[in-house]
Amino acid sequence: MKTLGWARVRPPGAYMLRRGAWYPVVIDNRYQLVVLGVAQRNVAVPRDRLQIRQHLPSNFSVVIRSPDDHNPVKGMSSDLGPTYAVCPSSRSRVRIEGRPDNIECPFCGHRESVAWDDIC
């Protein structure tokens, strides 16, 4: 199916979508709902809950969790902390320390800048 653009959910998230991850837009009738391709399924999301763009960005998204955000791995070794990045290629969550300009995804090897000016 042709990709009509790319979208990510606006905070606080939901609709089974990872915050910071870009998903292909598969149906966009320009009204209230946009259909995204998520893990071999179509998911309809209200347009006002999405950030939509024509092209997939190459830089990493930054997610900053609030203290109230659900974190099922809080305190465990897999906890990414309150701030983490999302790879635009693999949609993997990546631990970040400090405020790096560039990072590399440990899962797919994609290396690019971090979008500190567009925090999710």
The structure tokens listed for 73 are 């791995």
Percentage, residues of the chain above pLDDT 70 = 95
User: pTM for this structure?
Assistant: 0.83
pLDDT at 10: 83
pLDDT tens per residue, range 6-36: 999 987 666 678 888 999 999 998 789 999 9
**89 with 110: CB under 8 angstroms?**
yes
C-alpha separations of 8 from 33, 71, 79 in Å: 14, 19, 22
pLDDT tens per residue, range 70-108: 776 777 777 888 899 999 999 899 999 999 999 999 999
